[in-house]
Chain A
Amino acid sequence: MRQKEWGVAGLKIQGLAKSYREVRVLENINLDIASGEFFTLLGPSGCGKTTLLRTIAGFQSQDRGEIIVNGERIDHKPAHKRDIGMVFQDYAIFPHLTVAENVAFGLKARSLPKSEIRTRVDESLAMVRLEGYQNRLPAEMSGGQQQRIGLARAMAIRPTLLLMDEPLSNLDAKLRIELREDIRDIQRRLGITTIYVTHDQEEALAVSDRICVMNKGNVEQIGTPFEIYRKPLRRFAAAFVGTMNFVPGRIEGGRLSIGSQSIPSPAGGIDGPIEVAIRPENVLLAGDPHRGEAITLKGEVRKVTFLGREAHYTLSTEAGEIVAQVADPERDFIEMEGRPIEVKLPLGRVALFKSNGDVVEAGQG
């Protein structure tokens, strides 16, 4: 249910580049973000995601490229005329103003009538579940509440775009999940186009419509959370999102060899060293039922880590170290340490990466 008065906008970024001195922070970024989309920039610190966000906001200028909102170029506009809401990592709540004054701050810049300001402040605070806190000072409030003020303040101006720069990273784990659910709900309800920056892959998977994985100023992969997790196109995305085992292998003459094992290669047409990637939850141990083809490796249980609802087995295999996740471990799991074990890597859940980091497409050739 989108409210009519919200100016919902799509965002297009073309050929955006930025260098600081000799260092290229952003290299030729191209993005096409649909109206109403929750789009996340995900990557390690220094990957350029915050620079990209701040460039969209207008706090930094690009060297090249265009930023287009609803078909209109905005990259020449100063930040305060872009009509873009922003939520900050450190909340950036004005400590000398009350909660209501913080939320009204942007509305006063727009010279709205007093009654309208009051209505919008109350609406925004209700939206972030801070009704009744109007006259409090921010210093009396918790980090989670302060970030709710930040969100209400950004939304009160009814921006065309909402930018969020790691809004949850200063909060503790429980609050983080609670607030991220709220953010997602509010975004869905209002249908505001949102660009969200985080280095937390779980957060990105949980909230996004699409995720853009960034590394060293480049876009590694753009896709839905499912695609990013299950079909990583680049080794970097595979390694950064979730946990991934990588073991070295080789494709030669149509056969894939790992350790002493050799099977017909699932992908043809390439020869040379590759990396075999598989997630811990997809590694099968002796006795697990499975269908389809699999690579079988011999190994030994080196270490067992009990995590509650699951356990991690660190296995030394002939191809290298592999971590396997066992759901709902039995009581005798710990006794596995030191025992020999057979490991199966089902081919349907394996990804192969070339030495340049690209994924080997199944049936390539």
Chain B
Amino acid sequence: MMSRRFRFDIWTFVLIGAWAILLILLIWPLSSILRASLIDNETGTLSLVHYVEIFTTRVYQRAIGNTMIAGFGGMTGALILGVTLAFVTTRFHIYGRAVIQTLAVIALVSPPFIGAYAWIVLFGASGVVRKVLAAIGISIPPLYGVAGVIMVFSFKFFPHVFLITSGALAAINRSVEEAAESLGVSPMKRLFTITFPLILPAISASALLTFVLSIADFGTPRIIGRDFNVLATEAFNLYGGEVGENPGMASALSIVLIALSMIIVFGQRWVLRKNVYYSNMIKKPERQQVSGLKSLGLHVLAYGIVLFGALPAIIVVLFSFRRTSGPVFQPGLSLQSYEKVISTVSEPIWNTLIFSSIAVVAIVITGTLIGYLISRRPSFATGSLDAILMVPYVVPGIVMGIAFITRFNDPPIALTGTGLIIILAIYIRRLPYSARSVSAALKQVGPNLEDAAVSLGYSPGKAFMKVTVPLIVPGILAGALMSFVTAMNELSSSLVLYVGSTITMPVRIYLSVMDGEYGTASALSTILLVMTVAAVYAAFHLSGRKESALL
């Protein structure tokens, strides 16, 4: 007698719902990109003509090459800065570690375009720093082109590396390093043969993240890249129609961009194929007390990195209070930029708050349920759900935007021009982060707790609500605020999806920068920055945890 029972409980509905969401909001829209990339614009038949053009046309070949340069360059720079900062702050006694972490977080959450624009203010053709240096006889080239892009990426993305690797560095069993020392390995050699291999999972994860962020970023190359064209800018141009619309070509470029990200994803898996170290923490690493010149040097290094990283945000705040006359800054301080923002462009502020709030509520609810499903109900269906959830990580916002506008332009789902389409794009892009962070939080909660509640008479659904949810609420709230921050700062998908009435702050800032309205851009950026920092502060406060827990 077989009585293998399949219990049709609440989690079955969650599983079906999750798959439905991913099919409608992710797979279906992205399939349109794939399809468009394979259709000949003239004949309307299936063909590889776009791909052939990409790989045979000089401008696209250059875009691919430049994308790789930007990706690896940004990744390398961010890794060097981030790992150095993490090492210095976890292994040596540095005064004001909270300040360093705060500055790193400010750099991390700085709204997009603040960076690119502020760097131009400092190091552009008529940049402040360049002028000062020129006055004392030092001449440096303006920050345009490939070097500028890589530098901006390095200083924009290093906080990710810093936060991820400091956690790993702080969790290395000190005895392992002491063992290497007792075996006569020099400190430098120990770093490369013991310490870094042990934190390889963290290093490679942050490398992957910074690479993907670098190649997906399209504002930086557009504003300071000048003729440094990358796939993201080409796709946007072809889609946006500045040089004549070519959705097929834009789609094919998008697919190439996704493929590049996927290669790196698999590369990271390959690097990590054998590197699973389980370490029982016996002794935590201690911070070494240093003095004199060495201490000074370490402080200069640590503060130098974070101050330079936070510089764009600081500059923008300062500039928002400067007097302007049209696009030109005048001597003296004034609130006129804010007055202008409030009187003429307050709509984006409300849009941003409303869209982000709705998206975050949806993300938190579904992300929590999906995260639970993945970590507590392992099966083929949930395993493949987890794998599909990786997709939004590697799909640039611009591509997601194009996919949405292609699919949701006509019935059955006609959403173009609505706020909903912007909300849904943010939702699907950030859902994986929430699901992942919940499943990570759940790993800290023993599954026996729920079994205990069930044995005491609670149904599985009630057991989840009564026991698990209260325990992961700090994690959920922290994740929610981080989602809120990224949602408020979402630019690339919104830029494709917005219409006049649904414009958001990042889009408004971008357009202002493009139109040369730097005062307005600075004031809007400052408002966005203040809202962001407030949300981050609330996240820390609510979670009572370190910044690294928020990633």
Give A residues with C-beta under 8 Å from B: 57-59, 61-64, 75-76, 78-86, 88-90, 92, 94-96, 105-106, 109-110, 150, 153-154, 157, 163
Q: Kindly supply a per-residue 1/0 record for chain B positions 430-459, scoring 1 wherever the CB is within 8 Å of any chain A CB and 0 otherwise.
A: 000000000000000010110111111111
Instruction: Answer yes or no: B467 CB below 8 A from chain A CBs.
Output: yes
Given known pairs A92-B448, A94-B449, A96-B471, the reply for A157 and B456 (CB within 8 Å) is yes
- Pick from A58, A62, A92, A96: contact of B452, CB below 8 A: A92
**By the criterion CB–CB under 8 Å, are A109 and B455 in contact?**
no
- Pick from A64, A90, A92, A163: contact of B3, CB below 8 A: A64
- Pick from A78, A84, A96: contact of B7, CB below 8 A: A78
Contact residues in A for B470 (Cβ distance below 8 Å): 96
**By the criterion CB–CB under 8 Å, are B3 and A79 in contact?**
no
16 chain-A/chain-B pairs, Cβ below 8 angstroms: A61-B5, A63-B4, A64-B1, A79-B454, A80-B457, A80-B458, A80-B463, A82-B455, A84-B455, A88-B451, A90-B448, A92-B448, A92-B451, A94-B452, A94-B467, A154-B456
**By the criterion CB–CB under 8 Å, are A59 and B454 in contact?**
yes
Contact residues in A for B466 (Cβ distance below 8 Å): 105
Contact residues in B for A80 (Cβ distance below 8 Å): 454-460, 463
**By the criterion CB–CB under 8 Å, are B449 and A109 in contact?**
no
Complex: A58 Cα to B453 Cα, angstroms: 13
Given known pairs A61-B5, A78-B7, A96-B471, the reply for A86 and B459 (CB within 8 Å) is no
Instruction: Answer yes or no: B135 CB below 8 A from chain A CBs.
Output: no
Instruction: Answer yes or no: B2 CB below 8 A from chain A CBs.
Output: yes
Complex: A75 Cα to B2 Cα, angstroms: 12
Contact residues in B for A61 (Cβ distance below 8 Å): 3-5
Give 10 nearest A-B pairs by CB, closest first.
Answer: A106-B456, A109-B457, A92-B448, A86-B455, A92-B452, A79-B454, A88-B448, A80-B454, A96-B470, A92-B449
Given known pairs A90-B446, A95-B471, the reply for A62 and B3 (CB within 8 Å) is yes
**By the criterion CB–CB under 8 Å, are A79 and B455 in contact?**
yes
**By the criterion CB–CB under 8 Å, are A110 and B454 in contact?**
no
**By the criterion CB–CB under 8 Å, are A86 and B2 in contact?**
no
Given contacts A79-B454, A92-B452, 7 further A-B contacts (CB under 8 A): A61-B3, A63-B3, A64-B1, A79-B451, A92-B446, A109-B457, A110-B457
Complex: A80 Cα to B451 Cα, angstroms: 9
Complex: A95 Cα to B451 Cα, angstroms: 15
Complex: A76 Cα to B4 Cα, angstroms: 10
- A19 CB to closest chain B CB, in angstroms? 10
- A149 CB to closest chain B CB, in angstroms? 11
Complex: A153 Cα to B462 Cα, angstroms: 18
B3, B7, B456, B470: residue with the most chain A Cβ atoms closer than 10 Å: B456
Residue of B nearest to A75 (CB): B3
Complex: A21 Cα to B542 Cα, angstroms: 44
**By the criterion CB–CB under 8 Å, are B451 and A86 in contact?**
yes
**By the criterion CB–CB under 8 Å, are A109 and B456 in contact?**
yes
Residue of A nearest to B467 (CB): A94
Residue of A nearest to B450 (CB): A92
Contact residues in B for A90 (Cβ distance below 8 Å): 446, 448
B1, B449, B452: residue with the most chain A Cβ atoms closer than 10 Å: B452
Complex: A58 Cα to B458 Cα, angstroms: 13
Complex: A86 Cα to B446 Cα, angstroms: 15
Complex: A61 Cα to B449 Cα, angstroms: 19
**By the criterion CB–CB under 8 Å, are B1 and A57 in contact?**
no
Contact residues in B for A89 (Cβ distance below 8 Å): 448
Complex: A140 Cα to B466 Cα, angstroms: 21
Residue of A nearest to B459 (CB): A80
Mark out the residues of chain B between 451 and 497 whose CB falls within 8 Å of any chain A CB in the assembled complex: 451-460, 462-463, 466-467, 470-471
- A143 CB to closest chain B CB, in angstroms? 14
Contact residues in B for A62 (Cβ distance below 8 Å): 3
**By the criterion CB–CB under 8 Å, are B452 and A88 in contact?**
yes
Given known pairs A80-B457, A80-B458, A96-B471, the reply for A86 and B452 (CB within 8 Å) is yes
**By the criterion CB–CB under 8 Å, are A154 and B455 in contact?**
yes
Contact residues in B for A78 (Cβ distance below 8 Å): 7, 459-460
**By the criterion CB–CB under 8 Å, are A85 and B1 in contact?**
no
- Pick from B3, B446, B453: contact of A76, CB below 8 A: B3
**By the criterion CB–CB under 8 Å, are A153 and B471 in contact?**
no
**By the criterion CB–CB under 8 Å, are B455 and A57 in contact?**
yes
- A166 CB to closest chain B CB, in angstroms? 12
Given known pairs A62-B3, A75-B3, the reply for A106 and B457 (CB within 8 Å) is yes
- A57 CB to closest chain B CB, in angstroms? 6
A95, A150, A157: residue with the most chain B Cβ atoms closer than 10 Å: A95
**By the criterion CB–CB under 8 Å, are A105 and B453 in contact?**
yes
Mark out the residues of chain B between 209 and 229 whose CB falls within 8 Å of any chain A CB in the assembled complex: none
Contact residues in B for A57 (Cβ distance below 8 Å): 451, 455
Residue of A nearest to B448 (CB): A92
- A265 CB to closest chain B CB, in angstroms? 46
Contact residues in A for B2 (Cβ distance below 8 Å): 63-64
Residue of A nearest to B1 (CB): A64
- A64 CB to closest chain B CB, in angstroms? 6
Residue of A nearest to B470 (CB): A96
Residue of B nearest to A156 (CB): B456
- A54 CB to closest chain B CB, in angstroms? 8
Complex: A114 Cα to B17 Cα, angstroms: 39
Complex: A284 Cα to B452 Cα, angstroms: 50
Q: Kindly supply a per-residue 1/0 record for chain B positions 33-45, scoring 1 wherever the CB is within 8 Å of any chain A CB and 0 otherwise.
A: 0000000000000
Complex: A110 Cα to B462 Cα, angstroms: 13
Contact residues in B for A157 (Cβ distance below 8 Å): 456-457
B449, B460, B462, B471: residue with the most chain A Cβ atoms closer than 10 Å: B449
- Pick from A76, A83, A109, A163: contact of B458, CB below 8 A: A109
- A161 CB to closest chain B CB, in angstroms? 10
Contact residues in B for A88 (Cβ distance below 8 Å): 448, 451-452
Complex: A294 Cα to B313 Cα, angstroms: 92
**By the criterion CB–CB under 8 Å, are B449 and A153 in contact?**
no
Complex: A57 Cα to B448 Cα, angstroms: 12
- B11 CB to closest chain A CB, in angstroms? 13
Complex: A153 Cα to B449 Cα, angstroms: 12
- B2 CB to closest chain A CB, in angstroms? 7
Complex: A105 Cα to B455 Cα, angstroms: 11
Residue of A nearest to B463 (CB): A80
Complex: A163 Cα to B2 Cα, angstroms: 26
Contact residues in B for A64 (Cβ distance below 8 Å): 1-3
Residue of B nearest to A102 (CB): B452
- A185 CB to closest chain B CB, in angstroms? 23
Residue of B nearest to A85 (CB): B455
Contact residues in B for A109 (Cβ distance below 8 Å): 456-458, 462
Complex: A88 Cα to B467 Cα, angstroms: 16
- B450 CB to closest chain A CB, in angstroms? 9
Contact residues in B for A85 (Cβ distance below 8 Å): 455-456
- B53 CB to closest chain A CB, in angstroms? 49
Complex: A88 Cα to B450 Cα, angstroms: 11
Complex: A89 Cα to B447 Cα, angstroms: 12
Complex: A82 Cα to B457 Cα, angstroms: 8
Complex: A76 Cα to B5 Cα, angstroms: 9
